[in-house]
Chain A
Amino acid sequence: MDAHVAQLQMQYRNYILSLYQQGFLDDQFTELKSLQDDGTPDFVAEVLSLFFDDCVKLVGNMARALDQTGTVDFSQVGANVHQLKGSSSSVGAKRVKGLCINFKELCEAKNYEGCVRCLQQVDIEYKTLKAKLQDMFNLEKQIVQAGGIVPQVDIN
């Protein structure tokens, strides 16, 4: 049983490291994890679910704003992007944040095609991240069910 737990833990660790190395997550995510303690055992999960809900909502808003025929209200888009940027930076979604920064510039430049493309990328990106984090949570659950504890992964 211990060997199984150890194996799972190793798997988990490698997975987390890969997420960081691939740029999906950054230090803010580590901070987020550090805020989770016995008093708030699901803090990270809650924040992340809120984030992803936010993503859905904001992307939807932006899609609608860009879909408008006629003049596109770039300021609206910009505001949403701003929100998304804020959210993503708060949770440590590095790639999403990076895209948002680009997106913001494009908005200010009122680059329609660029915006549309960027939005698509954002869409893909946050969904990918969501899937990956879901896997991570599953791994955590498995470890806990196997009787082990979720290891703290030191990024540095």
Chain B
Amino acid sequence: MLEPELKLLYRINAQSWKDINVDVNHKVESRLKLKFLELELKLLHCLLTFTKQNVIEFDPLHINPNFSISVTVSNHMMEVCNCIEPQWPADELLMKYQYISDFFIAVAYFSIPLELIYFVKKSAVFPYRWVLVQFGAFIVLCGATHLINLWTFTTHSRTVALVMTTAKVLTAVVSCATALMLVHIIPDLLSVKTRELFLKNKAAELDREMGLIRTQEETGRHVRMLTHEIRSTLDRHTILKTTLVELGRTLALEECALWMPTRTGLELQLSYTLRQQHPVEYTVPIQLPVINQVFGTSRAVKISPNSPVARLRPVSGKYLLGEVVAVRVPLLHLSNFQINDWPELSTKRYALMVLMLPSDSARQWHVHELELVEVVADQVAVALSHAAILEESMRARDLLMEQNVALDIARREAETAIRARNDFLAVMNHEMRTPMHAIIALSSLLQETELTPEQRLMVETVLKSSSLLATLMNDVLDLSRLEDGSLQLELGTFNLHTLFREVLNLIKPIAVVKKLPITLNLAPDLPEFVVGDEKRLMQIILNIVGNAVKFSKQGSISVTALVTKSDNRAPPDFFVVPTGSHFYLRVKVKDLGAGINPQDIPKLFTKFAQTQSLATRSSGGSGLGLAISKRFVNLMEGNIWIESEGVGKGCTAIFDVKLAISNESKQSGIPKVPANPQHVNFAGLKVLVMDENGVSRMVTKGLLVHLGCEVTTVSSNEECLRVVSHEHRVVFMDVCTPGVENYQIALRIHEKFTKRHQRPLLVALTGNTDKSTKEKCMSFGLDGVLLKPVSLDNMRNVLSDLLEHRVLYEAM
């Protein structure tokens, strides 16, 4: 044990060092005591340092004895503790501050990694955990360093210093490593940050765009919905009302109004509004500049809320009227629809749609809303035009229906009238004809009896009058039927030449009495057998010729019949074109009688018109004759007209009618129309051929045999008479040889066979076929005439016709 004396050096207020002796009273046996001593010293130190009056500095190894503190220190322990003294005195203020700062730094430094760990653990993504660890270590060590620093403010043992040093070294290492690492890491981290920023920007942008698209889609949806609503109806009012309602709803408008042009087109009238139930009759002139501006463009135009079209409700002191937009709505009419320029509107009739945003809201019209409004305006225009078209068509249909009903009624009335008339006519006709018939018949009979001259005169008058009346009735009935169109021609085959001759025969008595010679000229190419309405044709000719006779006092009458061709003179509006087996028969009746004033000619054919003066009226006639004739001629697809040079110069009546050539006729030059070969096969037909000429006989026989007939030949009349029997169906007799005896045979055969059905048909074979021959044949009772030499086809046709009709007159 050492017992050194402790010397303490002290100094007050920086005076010179003094030393004091410190008695060491006790032996410090334990370190603890030494520590306590140290602490006491330190305390003393502290106490001393707190006095402001004196600055007492201690040499660390010495203690100030001024304060009558007896401190005894053993110094050997101090040497053993191996302590390191702080550089600075422990009770300096600065030191104190440093101490506290270090403490807080340490605390902070320890908490940072904790925070880091906590938050990293929380975050899902952190790519640099290694760095974090490093950084954490670095911070922790720094904290540790500062923490350990706390101990170094006072005297501390060497271990503390060692620890401190270790900590510092480690810290240095880690921090350098970290620094080096950060050189690599920080750019990455920064770039991550940049990318993050970029992505954030992008996201923001996309958000914006999406917002835009959404708004557009919204707009589109609204438009579609609006359109659907608007076009789901065809009623004009509903369309407009719906438009306003939907627009108001979609765009959340305060007010929506539609101004329609008035009829005059000079003003716009408020027709529909959204909120106000019954708009007041409110018009604005159409020529306002604002209206012109809106009408001038198809876009929606923002207008001032104070313009007359926007001032719809009383201004009730609102601060800020909402923005107003106006758009034109084209009003189209049917006449506007021209195929090629649909977008160009040829008429400038527009309606004005005014839309107002709610007042006192800061809302503004967005572009997409304006577009919506424009689209809606177009759709409204289309819908309106559709409604207009529908209205038109409905109206037209109603009109048509009315007309149909009216027509139906009229038709029924007409039918009833016609039926009534027909019934009347039929009944009256029958009723009238019966007594008439009785009158005529009995009068005729009476005429035959013995009468006195006066009686005879009376009876004649009665007869004449009743005949006239009968004719009148017939005419009237005929005419009425003609006018109905219910008259039909009765077609049949007849002999045209005979017809003319008959007519002439009928007229001849009267003409002879009046000393009017009548001549008939038939053209040589006039067909003989024709198909047509014989009775009515006769009626026509009779009428015309009768008229000629009636109205001629002197002169002659000529009747000409010919086949007309298209180059003949005809009324300019009528062309004759012979078609096929048809031809046009032209009949000209020329008389040199009274003549007709050319101005009266058109009246001739009208019913009941008479052109003669009363004096000549006695010639009778109802005036219907020509009218009826004209109708008949028209029915026969022909034409009738009268030419006259004037009164007293006679007149010519001409008519054309269409007739068909009969199949039964055969003419040279006209292609043979083969008749229906009914008896093509004359198998076993028994015929007799009589011919003096052997060669002819043989040829004829050969012909008939070829046709299948059973032929017997005779060469003389007597033989013929002997041989002929009822078994022979046809007898062909040659009548060429001059003389009349040939025909006697026919008479004989007629005598032989009294019963008609037993008698064979008689056909004459002759070399010349002029009229006289034919007439002779006819007069001798022959059934047919054949021209020699007979061809096979001829024979065949003739036979079949003969057997079918039992009569044949072959044209030459």
Contacts and interface: CB of A to CB of B under 8 A. Distances in A.
Decide whether A and B are members of one complex.
Answer: yes
Given A28-B789, A43-B702, A50-B698, 12 more contacts: A31-B703, A35-B699, A35-B703, A47-B698, A47-B702, A51-B695, A54-B694, A86-B695, A86-B788, A89-B767, A90-B695, A90-B699
B90 interface: no
A40 B696 CA distance: 17
7 contacts: A27-B791, A31-B791, A47-B702, A82-B736, A83-B692, A86-B695, A91-B695
Given A82-B737, A86-B788, A87-B694, A32 B699 contact: yes
Contacts of B792: 31, 34-35
Nearest to A86: B693
A49 to B, nearest CB: 10
A41 to B, nearest CB: 12
Q: Which 7 A-B pairs have CB atoms at the shortest separation, nearest pair first?
A: A87-B695, A90-B699, A90-B696, A86-B693, A35-B702, A28-B789, A35-B706
Given A35-B706, A46-B698, A82-B736, A89 B692 contact: no
Interface of B: 692-696, 698-700, 702-703, 705-706, 734, 736-738, 767, 788-789, 791-792
B702 A86 contact: no
A90 B791 CA distance: 10
A57 B736 CA distance: 19
A95 interface: no
A83 B693 contact: yes
A27 B696 CA distance: 15
Contact of B693 (A32, A37, A46, A90): A90
Contacts of A82: 736-738
Nearest to B700: A90
Interface of A: 27-28, 31-32, 34-35, 37, 39-40, 43, 46-47, 50-51, 54, 78-79, 82-83, 85-87, 89-92
A27 B702 CA distance: 16
Given A50-B694, A89-B788, A79 B702 contact: no
Contact of A47 (B692, B695, B737): B695
Contacts of B702: 32, 35, 40, 43, 47
A27 B793 CA distance: 13
Contacts of A92: 789
Contacts of B699: 32, 35, 47, 90-91
B700 to A, nearest CB: 8
The residue among B693, B706, B791 with the most chain A CB atoms within 10 A of its own CB is B693
Contacts of A78: 738
B706 A86 contact: no
B761 to A, nearest CB: 22
B695 A54 contact: yes
A30 to B, nearest CB: 9
Contacts of B698: 46-47, 50, 90
Contacts of B737: 79, 82
A27 to B, nearest CB: 8
Contacts of A27: 791
Nearest to A52: B695
A27 B791 CA distance: 9
A9 B738 CA distance: 44
B693 A87 contact: yes
Nearest to A53: B694
Contacts of B693: 54, 83, 86-87, 90
A82 B737 CA distance: 7
Contacts of B734: 86
A46 B701 CA distance: 12
A40 B705 CA distance: 9
Contacts of A43: 702
A90 B788 contact: yes
Contacts of A35: 699, 702-703, 705-706, 792
A31 B700 CA distance: 11
Interface centre among A27, A31, A37, A79, by most chain B C-beta atoms within 10 angstroms, is A31
B736 A86 contact: yes
Contacts of B705: 35, 39-40
Q: Which of B692, B698, B791 has the most CB of A within 10 A?
A: B698
